[in-house]
Amino acid sequence: MCTRTCSRATSRRRVSLADDSSQTAVTITVDGIAMVQLLGPQDRLLRIVEKEHPNVDVLVRGNEITLSGEQTDVAAARVLVAELIDMTRNGHTIEPADVTASNRVIQESGERPSASLGETILATRGKTIRPKTPGQRDYVEAIDQNTIIFGIGPAGTGKTYLAMAKAVQALQRREVSRIILTRPAVEAGERLGFLPGSLTDKIDPYLRPLYDAINEMMDPEIVPKLMASGTIEVAPLAYMRGRTLNDSFVVLDEAQNTTPEQMKMFLTRLGFGTRMVVTGDTTQIDLPGGTSGLRVVSKILGHVDDIHFANLSSADVVRHTLVGKIVDAYGEYDEKRTARRAELDEARDFANRAGRRGPQPGGRNQNRGRS
């Protein structure tokens, strides 16, 4: 097997290696795993490696991978390829986002992704669910060690998905007797108007993301039975009022759209043998007015034992690489807008103070009166 880079890489390497002593070529022999597992269908994972290290030429023949280019670039690419080999050998199914996340971990922290990104939470239908960044690993460990956990971060950081995976794991291990998934029924910036059907039909669009995730993690044929028996419950936040939730794993999603009163109501539903995970993104608040309960809760409960706040960032985004860049760009824009608003407010306050003081002695108005 030879990748699409074979012909151009070979000709360019013959010239550069002969003319520049800083150039090098390294061959890695892959044993014990199928190359398709490592490289992906149509070598799609290999193309991500090339994108992460654009100055390195990659040549694949049989079970050998040859990297060539500047010594420092080749050394960095070699570490990434070695980590992908180790993860594949350990049974992890590598996705394109894993390649990008692993390279980011190597460059930013120097840690080995294969050793530091956490154990598999669930393995279902040929897919493994596990933490893919150090931030996600710390978040999952916090879920294991605390009763109430807040996962706060931008879209794509896996905060809800990992929480639901831990819920399914706890149910399978019989650590809890049921899973409760809930979120506030708040429209995301647009008015949906009248929705036909029963009450269940009306709230279904708000809860659909939770249904999709649970069906992805469990056998879709079993999920309806578990829901019918009450072992898995998906309901809007308003349904939690007046209840005490015992022996349960409860996940509150989109918590940025709760009011402080709703957040208090939800947290006080905690019963014996229950663990709660609250997830949300404070930059995506859809409340029509008022204060987000997720924004103020850290000030109220930040000092309470057995409650942990896990803050994820764009570095933990495991969706398309553009998602992390979009999150950073919006964050920078919001910071500039906040700073500009503060400057305008300060200028307005100064003008108001000057107006209240009136004309000062020796000013132009006073001199005009004397003349």
**Is the pLDDT reported for residue 18 higher than 50?**
no
Question: Which of the given ranges, 44-48, 145-149, 195-199, 333-337, has the highest pLDDT on average?
Answer: 145-149
Q: What is the pLDDT of residue 233?
A: 93
- Cα separation, 37 vs 33, whole angstroms: 7
185-189, 241-245, 351-355: least confident range? 185-189
Question: Which amino acid would we find at residue 352?
Answer: N
Q: Residues 197-207: what's their mean pLDDT?
A: 66
Residues 6+ apart with CB under 8 A from 234: 181, 182, 207, 210, 211, 214, 227
- Class of the CATH domain delimited by 6-116: alpha beta
Same fold, 6-116 and 133-319: no
Q: Which residue has the tokens 């469990």?
A: 218
CB 158 within 8 A of CB 138: no
Q: Going by DSSP bridges, is the β-strand pair 64-70/23-29 parallel, antiparallel, or unpaired?
A: antiparallel
Give 215-280 as a DSSP string: HHHS-TTTHHHHHHTTSEEEEEGGGGTT--B-SEEEEE-SGGGS-HHHHHHHHTTB-TT-EEEEEE
Q: What is the pTM of this model?
A: 0.69
User: Which residues are within 8 A (CB) of 66 and not within 5 positions of it... i.e. 6 or more apart?
Assistant: 25, 26, 27, 28, 58, 59, 60
Q: Looking at residues 45-59, what average pLDDT do you find?
A: 87
pLDDT tens-digit profile of 278-301? 999 998 888 877 789 999 999 999
Q: Which of 269, 189, 195, 188 has its CA nearest to residue 233?
A: 269
Q: What is the pLDDT of residue 11?
A: 35
Pick the CATH number of 133-319 from 3.50.50.60, 3.40.309.10, 3.40.50.1980, 3.40.50.300: 3.40.50.300
Domain boundaries, the chain: 6-116, 133-319
